[in-house]
Amino acid sequence: MIVLWLLCLAGFSLLSLAMPRYRRLFGLRHLSARAERGWRLSGFALLLLSLLLVLQRPQPAEDAITWFGILTITALLVASVLAYRQRR
Contact 82, 16 (CB under 8 A): yes
Q: What is the pTM of this model?
A: 0.89
Measured CA to CA, the distance from residue 23 to residue 63 in angstroms comes to 33
Strand runs (DSSP E) across 1-88, as ranges?
A: none
- Residues 40-72: tens digit of each pLDDT: 999 999 999 999 999 888 998 899 999 999 999
Per the structure, the count of domains in the chain is 1
Domain holding 26, by residue range, is 2-87
- Mention every residue, 6+ apart, whose C-beta is less than 8 A from residue 13: 43, 78
